[in-house]
Structure formats: C-alpha cells, structure tokens
Amino acid sequence: MSLSFYWYPKCSTCRNAKKWLDQQGLEYEAIHLLENPPSRSQLEELYRTSGLELKKFFNTSGQKYRELGLKDKLKDATEVEMLDILATDGMLIKRPIVSDGNKVTVGFKEEEYAKTWG
C-alpha cells in the first residue's frame, strides 16, 4: 500500500507523523504542501473520501487563517467557497494529510494512525 503524505517539513506534527510512518515501515510519497499543494479537485477528492467535515481540512491555528479572518468567513461559506479558499494556499490546509485513495487522515494522532494505517 503506497500512501500520499502531504506535509510541511517545518511542522513538528508532520515530523512526528513521518517518524511514525517510517517506524511502521510504510511506503509513502512525501509531498511538500507548500511546494506542491493539492489542486482544488484533489482537495475535493480527499475531503469526500475522508468522510470528515470540510472545516477539519483548515489549519485553524495558522497565521494565514487568522490574517484572512476565516473563523468568521467559514461560518456561512458554502462547500464550493471553502474548497476554493483551501486551494489558494497550502498554509491554509491542516497537515499532515495521508491518503491511500480509499482512506484519508487529517492531522496526526497516533491512535488514529495505528487504527487506519497500522
């Protein structure tokens, strides 16, 4: 099973997730979230596959999120508007995102990784 691992190397959560994947001996393609962010259609596919609420894909603790005032803007935003916003900047996307095409995890919680990817 080969995974797509969307990450930002300076992010400690991403580094912890990468370390976990490495310790499990899992194969993955590491994709730098800023240099090669997922397209809008890729984001939509990840979102639909994940079964998660779209707001879970936003990096709510990020500086860019706060600068753009997204906490308030997202309250009334449609799914289309949220996907459009997410696709504008890799720093708006919660990280890491891991997918095998059938399952998706967003963020890193060791228990969730063990259940999903272990």
Please name each of the domains of the chain with its CATH number: 2-117 (3.40.30.10)
- pLDDT of the chain along its 118 residues, tens only? 689 999 999 999 999 999 999 999 999 999 999 999 999 999 999 999 999 999 999 999 999 999 999 999 999 999 999 999 999 999 999 999 999 999 999 999 999 999 999 9
* Prediction pTM value: 0.94
Q: What is the pLDDT of residue 1?
A: 63
Instruction: Find the helix or strand (DSSP H, E) in which 53 lies.
Output: none
pLDDT value at residue 91:
95
| Helix, strand, or coil (residue 48) | helix
Are 67 and 42 a contacting pair, CB within 8 Å? Answer: no
Check residue 87 and give its pLDDT.
97
Distance (Å, rounded) from C-alpha 54 to C-alpha 46?
10
Cα distance from N-terminal residue to C-terminal residue, the chain: 11
What pLDDT, on a 0 to 100 scale, did the predictor assign at position 68? 96
